[in-house]
Chains A and B, each alone.
Chain A
Amino acid sequence: MSSEFRIGVKDGIPIALGYFAVSFSLGITMVAAGITAFQGAVMSLSNLTSAGEFAGVRVIAAGGGLLELVLTQLIINLRYSLMSLSLTQKLDEKVSFWQKLLIAFGNTDEIFAVAMNHQRSLTLSYMLGLQSLPIIGWTAGTFLGAVACDLMPKSVSVAMNVMLYGMFIAIVIPVAKKSKEVLMVACAAVLFSCLFRYVPALQGVSAGISIIICTVAAAALGAILFPVKEGQD
């Protein structure tokens, strides 16, 4: 085992613990949407994305179409393309095309953030080490959350259903507090989303499509009104 692999594994421990907790509540949300623990584990192992999976679960629960599902994933996970792009700038020259195919699989927000913070150029060993525990934590958390959901009293699982939303709030609020631009974009997204919920003419729009429209509209509004400054990512 190379030392870079071991360093990667160590760097991945806090991510894995966080993932376990988040995916535990994702598992509970999945059960509420009629997805089994095993299906949830397969989804988490193959997707590795909280917001994308959460939106996917909604589309599945609503019996949405595959095109709707593809568009939802495309819009919500589009940010990964930007992260992958940044990652190319930091990869070791020796990393081959085939090795990149492996590295790409586990490029999540947190893994990307930690990798970009690594002191040296990124090798395959380091990246595989870094990704290993978070992948296990994410998958196991989803499975156990879904299993535990069936064993818990209803009042507890209903309360835990709110956990994932709490996490989303905790991700956005600190950034919105510092950046008026992000705050405006977040408020616009909430406003659009409320329109789809409460305006009778829009209530027929499916869950996935409304998430897409709200996201694209609010982010485009932000990009037009408050373009990011140079050097800001």
Chain B
Amino acid sequence: MNVYLYILVMAVVTYLIRMLPLTLIRRRIENRFVKSFLYYVPYACLMAMTFPAVFYAAEEHFVAAVAGVVVAMLLALRGKGLMTVAVAASVTVFAVSLIQGL
């Protein structure tokens, strides 16, 4: 299937999600379940996409990916910023895969 068709569908759905509440709804969401559900969605979604996929993201370098995740988690726990954590994870994967290749 054409990639641009996929992109168009994604763009339309995403835009409607942003646009409809902004233009149509004037009340606040009161339902506690819906509010709670929406609050948890980003965290659930990011973690479901990350694990276990991240362990295979560096292709055959499984151990390197695990090391990258450990470093990312430790730095994130210590409150480091997004970029620091992301770059450190990448550098770790690179370094460990180099060492493994020796």
Contact = CB atoms under 8 A, between A and B. Distances in A.
Contact of A218 (B11, B18, B48, B65): B48
A51 B49 contact: yes
Contacts, number: 294
Given A39-B4, A105-B18, A18 B82 contact: yes
B45 A165 contact: no
B38 A69 contact: no
Q: How large is the interface on A (under 10, 10 to 19, 20 to 34, 35 or more residues)?
A: 35 or more
Given A77-B17, A89-B28, A170-B80, A222 B23 contact: no
Contact of A100 (B4, B22, B42): B22
Interface stretch (A4-12, A132-140, A143-151, A184-192): A184-192
Contacts of A156: 94
B58 interface: yes
A85 B28 contact: yes
A109 to B, nearest CB: 8
B60 to A, nearest CB: 9
Interface in A50-92: 51-56, 58-60, 63, 66, 69-70, 73-85, 87-89
Interface residues of B, number: 77
Interface in B21-45: 21-23, 25-26, 28-29, 32-45
Nearest to B54: A165
B58 A161 contact: yes
Interface string A147-181: 00000000110111111111111111111110001
B35 A228 contact: yes
Contacts of B42: 51, 79, 109, 171
Interface of A: 18, 21-22, 25, 35, 39, 42-43, 46-49, 51-56, 58-60, 63, 66, 69-70, 73-85, 87-89, 97, 100-101, 103-105, 107, 109, 155-156, 158-177, 181-182, 185-190, 192-194, 197-198, 210-211, 214-215, 218-220, 222-224, 226-228, 232-233
